[in-house]
Amino acid sequence: MFASQVGIGYAVTCWNPGEDKVKTAALIVAAGRGSRAGADTPKQYLEIAGKSVLRRSIEAMAVCPSVASVTVVIHPDDAERYADATQGTFTKLRRPATGGATRQASVRLGLQELREIAPDSVLIHDAARPFVPPAVVERVVGALRTHIGALAALPVQDTLKREAPGGLIAATVDRSGLWQAQTPQGFHYASILSAHERAAAQGLDDFTDDAAIAEWAGLDVQLVLGSPENRKITTSDDVVDACRRLESTMGMGWEPRTGTGFDVHRFAPGDSVWLCGVRIPHHARLEGHSDADVALHALTDALLGAIGDGDIGQHFPPSDPRWKGAASRLFLADAARRVAERGGRIVNVDVTLLCEAPRIGPHRPRMQAEVAEILGISSDRVGIKATTTEGLGFTGRGEGIAAMANALVLLPIA
């Protein structure tokens, strides 16, 4: 029975880019003191293979195409640690929220902090789960299309015993239908915010996770399949264990894949062109069924090429009226989703535009930021270059623009 519910969780992740209007915010809870890890530093700031647990958790959420923004709830004493842990560019990261005395209070304060961006849904995630695979995040997001709440969880595998006084076994507990809760736990934003505020108003402060608050408030929470990889860092042994696993994963468990893409669109009468998701005033437009963003089309094909998953024309046929005038970022986001669904990570992408005009240089920073945001990577992983063809050929004659692209993706070795 539960297995079929998990099946639903999978099924609804089938994605129609035309419907992707839902704004999903990630809220990472990092306000705990985490003394169990046995160090002076709270466990979320401990380093695993040169990177803090928190930074890894932020990256794990930010890399997911469905996640529009990431907010971290921190302890008031940790501002400096947080600044250290988040150095560099995270395009999706918002300023941190300050937590409270309990995990429950911290989540509530974090949810209240999200009011100003008013997301449709929120994914509440423990900072201590830095290895959550993108596929698990996308399953939770997918289930939120049909449920108010969704929880990543694993069926209990071990036999369970109930203890009697003196350390004797009182009973063997039937494990069928029992699941271990993980995070992220996703909810429609307004519903979980209201549940948290009502619980606080009634002085209820001992819920151990957000799904428990949702249950108390009578909200539907769907179980979706988590992952054994999504383990929690609780003790110093977990940190050592995570370092070991990561080192072996970095050497053995991933294989790099590259893909290339190429596209051409011709000029037609108009006043602007779309390139890398940016509208640039020009004395012509590019002709095409969608917005004719030749650069995003080449990038989309490069990503699809890297994972051997057909091409843009196969997934979004020009003959399909749904894609008439469509923003090409939908195509690129769909390719990123396909990478995430395979458990893959985008390392970098690189695009070269071939045209005499318009000039690309002034628009490069915005183009990098757009592509980085669509793909959920930092903008230093996005190359944008342009060249003329010295007046030669169709680009030289100003008849159209060509773009070539490549992408590097890491896929888990099956």
Nearest residue (CB) to Mg ion, 81 versus 297: 297
Helix (H, G, I), strand (E, B) or coil at 89: coil
Residue at 195: amino acid letter: A
User: What CA–CA distance (Å, rounded) separates 293 from 295?
Assistant: 6
Residues belonging to the chain: 414
Residue written as tokens 């399909």? 320
Binding-site size, Mg ion (CB under 5 A): 2
**Contact stretch for Mg ion (CB under 5 A) within 199-207, 227-235, 296-304, 389-397:** 296-304
Q: How far is the CB of 297 from Mg ion (least distance, A)?
A: 4
Among all residues, whose Cβ is closest to Mg ion?
297
**Contact stretch for Mg ion (CB under 5 A) within 199-207, 256-264, 352-360, 382-390:** 256-264
Nearest residue (CB) to Mg ion, 221 versus 333: 333
| Angle between helical axes of 329-341 and 364-375 (0-180°, round to 10) | 40
Nearest residue (CB) to Mg ion, 103 versus 297: 297
Q: What is the DSSP letter of 143?
A: H
| 405 within 8 A of 298, measured Cβ to Cβ | yes
When asked if residue 291 is in the footprint of Mg ion (CB under 5 A), the reply is no
| 302 within 8 A of 260, measured Cβ to Cβ | yes
Widest pairwise Cα distance in the chain:
88
When asked if residue 285 is in the footprint of Mg ion (CB under 5 A), the reply is no
| Angle between helical axes of 134-143 and 329-341 (0-180°, round to 10) | 120
**Contact stretch for Mg ion (CB under 5 A) within 217-225, 260-268, 329-337, 346-354:** 260-268
Nearest residue (CB) to Mg ion, 238 versus 263: 263
Q: How far is the CB of 386 from Mg ion (least distance, A)?
A: 17
Pull the structure tokens for residue 236: 């110093």
| Backbone conformation region of residue 157, classed left if phi is above 0, alpha if psi is from -120 to 50, else beta | alpha
User: What CA–CA distance (Å, rounded) separates 338 from 188?
Assistant: 24
**Contact stretch for Mg ion (CB under 5 A) within 50-58, 126-134, 213-221, 255-263:** 255-263
When asked if residue 263 is in the footprint of Mg ion (CB under 5 A), the reply is yes
When asked if residue 293 is in the footprint of Mg ion (CB under 5 A), the reply is no
**Contact stretch for Mg ion (CB under 5 A) within 13-21, 24-32, 37-45, 293-301:** 293-301
Nearest residue (CB) to Mg ion, 59 versus 263: 263
Q: How far is the CB of 298 from Mg ion (least distance, A)?
A: 8
Could you tell me the CA-to-CA distances from 257 to 30, 274, 302, 336, 349 in Å, in that order?
A: 34, 28, 10, 14, 12
When asked if residue 297 is in the footprint of Mg ion (CB under 5 A), the reply is yes
Q: Which residues bind Mg ion (CB under 5 A)?
A: 263, 297
